[in-house]
Amino acid sequence: MESDALQKLRKEIDKIDEDILELLNKRASLALKIGEVKRKRGLLFYDPVREKEVIKKLINLNKGPFSDEIIKSLFREILSATLALQESQKIAYLGPEGTFTHLAAIKFFGSFAQFEPLDNIKSIFEYVEKGQSMYGVVPIENSNEGTVTLTLDMFVQHDVKIAGEIIIPISHHLLSLTGERDKIKKIYSHPHAKAQCREWLRKNMPNIPLHDVTSTAEAARLASENEEIGAIASEFSATLYGLKFVAKHIEDYKQNYTRFFILSKTFPNKTGTDKTSIMFSLKDKPGALYNALKPFKESKINLTKIESRPAKMRKWEYIFFVDFIGHIEDEKVKSTLNEVKKCCIELVHLGSYPLFE
């Protein structure tokens, strides 16, 4: 009886699978027609606003047992595969394969995009600016280690926009070929990753020498070639490089997140829940920064980040980077920025993009 019941349930699942396959192909055919319309009108194929609307609607309809996060991940892959049918999207990211930036790129664009690892952040900005890549993904800040200042500096030198953001949790693991702690004679990782695991390393691997490399993924690659090397890297890297876990979740602070910017030549239309990034330079006089920020307070616009960097043009002059809630197309934002401009030598709109949720 149990066997008959099992077979009946499996037949029902098989029928549902066939229906899903038929519907997926039907959806893809419609998407190809939409792609042709976009091509004729010169529109961008990737539309983050539309993607956000689709996923939000499906989550609102979701009654389980799948969680909202699983539904979000499943349909992002469907959307990614569909977009790849319309046009291959080239995405530059801070490589090599297996970095947290690579993971952020996959989570944002889905695994069917065409990803290109580059050696440094400057190259990613150059690729996007020259049109060699449609998009770029770069780290901007970590909840424990702070701002990636090189990313901020690149906005001064390159004409690119911020088209999106994604925040991912950062969890570090000690990996090796064998998974045996006693065989590890040296440990490799990126300096930031090591700093985030400092206390764990002091307590558990006090006599093992630590070595810096350009990325956690590079550490994983080296560990895949030598069983005496341990790598502090991600679970994603462990899968890519065939490594085993020596110890999991060795970061000192579990609430560890990194925010990434999506770079492009343009930025999306407003969704109603958006963030805007600007940079401006000020005249060197008392109260200049206060006067520049005062219009935000008066308009009740919420600032989410402010950072200063040396202008590198004149001594003691600084460029300020500000993030705030709202879109450049909002009337309140427009009027506020007009007031801010009166206090500035220069103000540049870096981009408006959907707020990460």
Is residue 347 in some structural domain?
yes
> Do 344 and 273 belong to one domain?
yes
**Residue 129, H or E segment:** helix 121-130
Which residues, including other chains, have CB under 8 Å from residue 52's CB and lie 6 or more apart?
A: 271, 354
pLDDT at 45 over 90: no
> Do 94 and 81 belong to one domain?
no
- CATH number of the domain residue 222 falls in: 3.40.190.10
In 3D, which of 76, 142, 75 has the Cα closest to residue 105? Answer: 76
What is the domain extent for residue 47? 2-86
> Do 142 and 124 belong to one domain?
yes
Is residue 228 in some structural domain?
yes
Structure confidence at residue 85 (pLDDT)? 84
Could you read off the pLDDT of 48-68 as tens digits, one per residue? 788 888 988 999 999 989 999
Cα–Cα distance between 232 and 45 in angstroms, integer?
A: 38
> Do 82 and 94 belong to one domain?
no
Residue pair 282/310 in contact (Cβ under 8 Å)? The answer is: no
Q: Which of these three, 238, 263, 288, is where a domain ends?
A: 263
Structure confidence at residue 315 (pLDDT)? 55
Residue pair 351/329 in contact (Cβ under 8 Å)? The answer is: no
Structure confidence at residue 122 (pLDDT)? 96
Helix (H, G, I), strand (E, B) or coil at 350: strand
- 17-to-4, 11, 23, 74, 130 alpha-carbon distances in Å: 20, 10, 10, 15, 44
Q: What angle do CA 302, 307, 216 make, to 5 degrees?
A: 110
Residue with tokens 């999991």: 248
Is residue 220 in some structural domain?
yes
Is residue 252 in some structural domain?
no
Lowest-confidence region among 36-40, 83-87, 261-265, 322-326: 83-87
In 3D, which of 145, 333, 112 has the Cα closest to residue 256? Answer: 145
Residues written for the chain: 357
**CA-based end-to-end distance of the chain:** 48
- CATH number of the domain residue 53 falls in: 1.20.59.10
For β-strands 161-169 and 135-142, DSSP reports them as unpaired
Count of the separate structural domains present in the chain: 4
Mean pLDDT, rounded, for 147-155: 91
> Do 283 and 341 belong to one domain?
yes
Is residue 235 in some structural domain?
yes
Q: Which residue has the higher pLDDT, 43 or 212?
A: 212
Which residues, including other chains, have CB under 8 Å from residue 159's CB and lie 6 or more apart?
A: 129
How buried is 50 (Cβ within 10 angstroms: 0-12 exposed, 13-18 middle, 19+ buried)? middle
> Do 235 and 223 belong to one domain?
yes
> Do 57 and 11 belong to one domain?
yes
Could you read off the pLDDT of 246-277 as tens digits, one per residue? 999 999 988 889 999 999 999 988 888 999 99
Could you read off the pLDDT of 1-11 as tens digits, one per residue? 567 888 899 99
Q: Which of these three, 198, 230, 263, is where a domain ends?
A: 263
> Do 321 and 278 belong to one domain?
yes
**Residue 31, H or E segment:** helix 2-41
Structure confidence at residue 1 (pLDDT)? 53
Residue pair 176/227 in contact (Cβ under 8 Å)? The answer is: yes
pLDDT at 284 over 80: no
Mean pLDDT, rounded, for 132-136: 94
Mean pLDDT, rounded, for 327-332: 95
> Do 77 and 40 belong to one domain?
yes
* Percent of the chain scoring above 90 in pLDDT: 67
Long-range contacts, stretch 207-210, CB < 8 angstroms, 24+ apart: 208/184, 209/185, 210/186
pLDDT at 219 over 90: yes
Residue with tokens 């979000």: 72
* Percent of the chain scoring above 70 in pLDDT: 98
> Do 32 and 13 belong to one domain?
yes
Structure confidence at residue 139 (pLDDT)? 94
Structure confidence at residue 46 (pLDDT)? 81
125-156: buried (b, 16+ CB within 10 Å) or exposed (e) per residue? Answer: bbbbbeeebbbbbbbbbbebbebbeebbbbbe
Is residue 99 in some structural domain?
yes
> Do 183 and 213 belong to one domain?
yes
Helix (H, G, I), strand (E, B) or coil at 192: helix
Cα dihedral 116→122→125→126 (10° resolution): -90
Beta bridge partner(s), residue 320: 280, 308
pLDDT at 333 over 80: yes
pLDDT at 323 over 60: yes
Is residue 251 in some structural domain?
no
- Edge-first strand order for the sheet with 244-247 is 210-212, 186-189, 229-233, 173-176, 244-247
> Do 163 and 117 belong to one domain?
yes
Could you read off the pLDDT of 292-316 as tens digits, one per residue? 999 999 999 999 999 988 876 565 5
Mean pLDDT, rounded, for 168-179: 94
Peptide bond into 65 cis (omega under 30): yes
Structure confidence at residue 59 (pLDDT)? 92
